[in-house]
């Protein structure tokens, strides 16, 4: 078979690609921040309301903690779920829907690189949004004493990774931005209500507790809250969060390897 | 294995990929950059490509022409490795597009039919980023300048006109200094001025040394741009040659029309060599014949002292040939 000159090889390191893409995604996000508004406003707002309403409660129902402290610590995890399960899948599916992923792929950028860049940017946003929860809580209620900073950091990092992997799965499954939004909301709402942002587990029915126990968000909230307030052992919820991370990564790898015929 | 052999009128050029020489000698064929054998592709039960054979040679503008839904985009995207072939053998610059996708991506550029960029991404930013991701093998500022994008460098993609977007897409397709460029329905939706500007840009891409594979359903575009054209219909290549030879091969009928001046006497034209038919409707005359007929008719009229001032010659267009090929193929007469 006659062919022209042999091809040269691409020599762009994967790290350079990821850094360039992440920088690009971050800049674009700064210009189009409106869709992320919910993830930044909703958690501090709900935290203010719930911590205020149940200010006089506390004790056994809240794992021995003050209700205000309980909700401040619990709401660190809510922006995590909102951004990972709603923002990330919508952005990813929107790229697919509008042909941006195809444009990237035609330029030699793998879907994995685009996914990783979006996940990294979302991780940065999660840190900012969680910081905003604390910044709003501090002058109003004061921050609860931090018992186990390493546990909080570990739980937050592992939880972020787990939720991001699940968000990527949703984004790869949804064909359009609207379906990703609907899917994300469907997943986020029970996680928020039963996984730490709503009533404490002790006032839930058995069925609700069983459902809550099956949700990854519950374990993430448990780790962060218990490590912060010193209200419980974090080993089990940390392990369960790690299991969800593995599940999410396996699903991501399968979906990315499956590589749709047309991205 | 080409559906038809390559034979193109001389184009004066010093390019190594030139298709013919102006000294009249038979040129050695340029090396093939794309070779496709027996390419098949289906979506579910629907067969879109039913065994395509193609060879694209270095330095040419090769067009894939077909109706909407003929399988053009599937063919070129499979050749680029953006879709998986069900069967067949594909080599682009000697690389397997599926197994060696990464290597292939570094030497091909693509403007896809239905792709986009983030709405807020600015022109300069897009060029800078994509150039960086391609290894900075070209100066993106120069590319920006060459493609008339410098004044738009701070404009967001979402605010660009159709023509500006296409210019950006072509520029992005060149950030890796590709050897083969795929352009899919490049001028769809553009106004006539923007379309002609874009054609000029495509010629410039070829002049920079790249081989261009053009996907189009516009006969005018293919006639203007393509060195060779393959007609794709119902998943098969039904003809492949230069536009001029396709027209000549398919139907040589040339119509010469004129109106006899009032004082003109009778003139006999049906005896002229190559004339198939002469039709008269009052003073209006139409002569159907081969490619030499207009000259012979004109000479005969001059000889008879008749000088009509409205003589026109209508040669069959690529569109005529295309419609005929499609009709023949649809009715079961495989043309090529």
Q: Among B241, B316, B332, which residue's Cα sits nearest to residue B7?
A: B241
Q: Which residues of A touch B94 (CB under 8 A)?
A: 1, 3-4, 6-7
Residue B213 has pLDDT above 90, yes or no: yes
Closest-CA distance of chain A to residue B148, Å:
21
**pLDDT, tens digit, for every residue of B221-246?**
898 899 999 999 989 999 899 988 88
Given this model, what pLDDT does residue B44 score? 86
Q: Chain A residue closest to B173 (CA)? A: A107
Query: What parts of chain A have a pLDDT lower than 50?
Result: 1-2, 6-7, 263
Given this model, what pLDDT does residue A136 score? 94
Q: What is the mean pLDDT of residues B309-331?
A: 81
Q: Which residues of B touch A107 (CB under 8 A)?
A: 105, 110, 130, 133-134, 172, 175-176
Closest-CA distance of chain A to residue B107, Å:
6
Q: Chain B residue closest to A15 (CA)? A: B133
Residue B336 has pLDDT above 50, yes or no: no
Given this model, what pLDDT does residue A5 score? 52
Q: Position of tokens 């069925």?
A: A207
Contact B107 A100 (CB under 8 A): no
Given this model, what pLDDT does residue B12 score? 35
Q: Chain A residue closest to B117 (CA)? A: A100
Contact B95 A7 (CB under 8 A): yes
Given this model, what pLDDT does residue B52 score? 92
Q: What is the mean pLDDT of residues B55-66?
A: 93
Given this model, what pLDDT does residue A108 score? 81
Of B29, B103, B114, the CB nearest to A7: B103
Q: What is the mean pLDDT of residues B134-161?
A: 91
Q: Which residues of A touch B171 (CB under 8 A)?
A: none
| A34 close contact with B: CB closer than 8 A | no
Residue B9 has pLDDT above 60, yes or no: no
Q: Among A92, A255, A227, A87, which residue's Cα sits nearest to residue A157?
A: A227
Residues in B lying within 8 Å of A, measured between beta carbons = 29-33, 35, 58, 77, 80, 82-84, 91, 93-95, 100, 102-107, 110, 112, 114-121, 125, 129-130, 132-135, 172, 175-176, 179, 211
Q: Position of tokens 């352009």?
A: B183
Residue B335 has pLDDT above 70, yes or no: no
Contact A99 B114 (CB under 8 A): yes
Q: Among A139, A7, A5, A126, which residue's Cα sits nearest to residue A76?
A: A126
**pLDDT, tens digit, for every residue of B100-128?**
888 888 899 998 877 889 999 999 999 99
**Between B114 and B60, residue with greater pLDDT:** B60
User: Is the sign of the CA dihedral A135, A136, A141, A144 positive or negative?
Assistant: negative
Q: Which residues of B touch A17 (CB under 8 A)?
A: 133
pTM: 0.77
Mutate which: A1, A4, A24, A29, vs B, most B CBs within 10 A:
A4
Query: What domains lie within chain B, and their CATH numbers?
Result: 32-107+176-249 (3.40.50.300), 252-314 (3.30.70.980)
* HEC profile of chain B: CCCCCCCCCCCCCCCCCCCCCCCCCCCCCCCEEEEEEEEEEEECCEEEEEEEEEEEECCCEEEEECCCCCCHHHHHHHHCCCCCCCEEEEEECCECCCCCHHHHHCCEEEECCCCCCCCCCEHHHHHHHHHHHCCCCCCHHHHHHHCCCHHHCCCEHHHCCHHHHHHHHHHHHCCCCCCEEEEECCCCCCCHHHHHHHHHHHHHHHHCCCEEEEEECCHHHHHHHCCEEEEEECCEEEEEECHHHHHHHHCCCEEEEEECCCCCCCCCCCCCCCEEEEEEECCEEEEEECCCHHHHHHHHHHHCCCCCCCCEEECCCHHHHHHHHHHHHHCCCCCC
Please list, in sequence order, all residues whose beta carbon lies within 8 angstroms of the beta carbon of residue B120, skipping any fewer than 6 positions away. A28, A31, A32, B156, B157, B158
Residue B320 has pLDDT above 90, yes or no: no
Given this model, what pLDDT does residue A51 score? 86
Closest-CA distance of chain B to residue A102, Å:
6
pLDDT band at B64 (very low <50, low <70, confident <90, very high): very high
**pLDDT, tens digit, for every residue of A61-117?**
787 788 888 899 889 989 999 999 999 999 999 999 998 998 888 888 888 999 999
Residue B220 has pLDDT above 90, yes or no: no
Q: Count CA atoms closer than 13 A to B32's CA, side-chain side.
A: 19
Q: Which residues of A touch B186 (CB under 8 A)?
A: none
* HEC profile of chain A: CCCCCCCCCCCCCHHHHHHHHHHHHHHHHHHCCHHHHHHHHHHHHHHHHHHHHCCCCEEHHHCCEEHHHHHHHHCCCHHHHHHHHHHHHHHHHHHHHHCHHHHHHHCCCCHHHHHHHHHHHHHHHHHHHHHHHHHHHHHHHCCCCCCCHHHHHHHHHHHHHHHHHHHHHHHHHCCCHHHHHHHHHHHHHHHHHHHHHCCCHHHCCHHHHHHHHHCHHHHHHHHHHHHHHCCCCCHHHHHHHHHHHHHHHHHHHHHHHHCCCCC
Q: Say if CB B24 and CB B9 are below 8 A apart.
A: no
Given this model, what pLDDT does residue A11 score? 64
Residue B189 in tokens? 């939706």
Of A1, A24, A31, the CB nearest to B129: A24
| A139 close contact with B: CB closer than 8 A | no
Q: What is the mean pLDDT of residues B39-53?
A: 91
Q: Which residues of A touch B112 (CB under 8 A)?
A: 99, 102-103, 106
Q: Count CA atoms closer than 13 A to A151's CA, side-chain side.
A: 24
Q: Say if CB B106 and CB A108 are below 8 A apart.
A: yes
Closest-CA distance of chain A to residue B84, Å:
6
Q: Which residues of A touch B120 (CB under 8 A)?
A: 28, 31-32
| A105 close contact with B: CB closer than 8 A | yes
Q: Say if CB A80 and CB A160 are below 8 A apart.
A: yes
Given this model, what pLDDT does residue A204 score? 87
Q: What is the rounded average pLDDT for all residues in chain B?
A: 84
- What is the ipTM score, two decimals? 0.80
Q: Which residues of B touch A95 (CB under 8 A)?
A: 118
Q: Which residues of B touch A16 (CB under 8 A)?
A: 132-133
**pLDDT, tens digit, for every residue of B16-42?**
333 334 444 555 667 899 999 999 999
Q: Count CA atoms closer than 13 A to B55's CA, side-chain side.
A: 16
Q: Count CA atoms closer than 13 A to A214's CA, side-chain side.
A: 7
pLDDT band at B130 (very low <50, low <70, confident <90, very high): very high
Residue B135 in tokens? 């290894």
Contact A99 B95 (CB under 8 A): no
Q: Which of A110-124, B8-22, B190-204 has the highest mean pLDDT?
A: A110-124
């Amino acid at each position: 078979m006659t062919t022209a000159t042999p091809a040269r090889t691409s020599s762009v390191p994967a790290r350079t690609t990821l850094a360039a893409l992440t920088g690009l995604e971050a800049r674009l996000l700064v210009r189009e921040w409106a869709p992320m508004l919910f993830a930044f406003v909703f958690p501090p707002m709900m935290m203010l309301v719930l911590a205020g309403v149940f200010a006089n409660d506390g004790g056994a129902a809240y794992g021995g903690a003050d209700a205000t402290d309980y909700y401040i610590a619990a709401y660190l995890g809510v922006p995590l779920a909102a951004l990972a399960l709603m923002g990330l899948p919508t952005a990813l599916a929107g790229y697919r829907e509008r042909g941006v992923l195809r444009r990237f792929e035609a330029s030699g950028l793998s879907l994995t690189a685009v996914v990783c860049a979006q996940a990294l940017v979302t991780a940065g946003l999660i840190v900012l949004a969680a910081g905003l929860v604390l910044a709003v809580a501090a002058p109003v209620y004061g921050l609860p004493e931090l018992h186990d900073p390493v546990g909080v950091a570990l739980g937050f990092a592992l939880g972020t990774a787990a939720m991001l992997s699940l968000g990527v799965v949703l984004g790869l499954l949804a064909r359009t931005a609207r379906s990703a939004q609907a899917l994300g909301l469907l997943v986020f709402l029970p996680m928020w209500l039963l996984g730490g942002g709503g009533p404490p587990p002790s006032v839930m029915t058995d069925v609700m507790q069983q459902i809550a126990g099956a949700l990854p968000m519950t374990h993430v909230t448990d780790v962060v809250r218990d490590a912060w307030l010193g209200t419980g052992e974090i080993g089990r919820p940390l392990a369960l969060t790690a299991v969800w991370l593995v599940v999410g990564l396996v699903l991501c790898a399968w979906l990315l390897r499956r590589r749709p015929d047309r991205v | 294995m080409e559906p038809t052999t390559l034979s193109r009128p001389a184009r004066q050029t010093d390019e190594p990929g030139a298709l013919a020489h102006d000294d009249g000698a038979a040129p050695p064929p340029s090396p093939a950059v794309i070779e496709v054998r027996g390419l098949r592709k289906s979506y579910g039960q629907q067969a879109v490509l039913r065994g395509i054979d193609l060879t694209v040679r270095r330095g040419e503008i090769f067009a894939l022409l077909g109706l909407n839904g003929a399988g053009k985009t599937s063919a070129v995207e499979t050749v680029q490795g953006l879709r998986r072939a069900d069967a067949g053998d594909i080599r682009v610059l000697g690389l397997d597009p599926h197994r060696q996708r990464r290597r292939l991506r570094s030497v091909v550029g693509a403007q896809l039919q239905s792709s986009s960029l983030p709405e807020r991404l600015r022109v300069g930013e897009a060029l800078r980023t994509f150039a960086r991701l391609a290894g900075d093998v070209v100066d993106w500022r120069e590319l920006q300048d060459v493609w008339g994008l410098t004044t738009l460098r701070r404009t967001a993609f979402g605010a660009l006109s159709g023509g500006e977007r296409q210019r950006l897409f072509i520029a992005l397709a060149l950030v890796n200094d590709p050897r083969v460029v795929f352009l899919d329905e490049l001028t769809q939706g553009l106004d006539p001025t923007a379309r002609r500007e874009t054609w000029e840009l495509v010629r410039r891409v070829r002049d920079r040394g790249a081989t261009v594979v053009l996907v189009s359903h516009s006969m005018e575009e293919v006639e203007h741009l393509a060195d060779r054209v393959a007609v794709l219909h119902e998943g098969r290549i039904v003809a492949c040659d230069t536009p001029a030879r396709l027209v000549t091969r398919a139907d040589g009928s040339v119509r010469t029309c004129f109106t006899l001046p009032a004082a003109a006497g009778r003139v006999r034209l049906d005896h002229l060599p190559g004339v198939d038919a002469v039709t008269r409707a009052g003073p209006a005359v139409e002569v159907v014949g081969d490619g030499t007929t207009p000259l012979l008719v004109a000479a005969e009229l001059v000889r008879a002292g008749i000088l009509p001032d409205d003589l026109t010659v209508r040669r069959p267009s690529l569109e005529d040939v295309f419609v005929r090929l499609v009709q023949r193929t649809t009715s079961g007469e495989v043309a090529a």
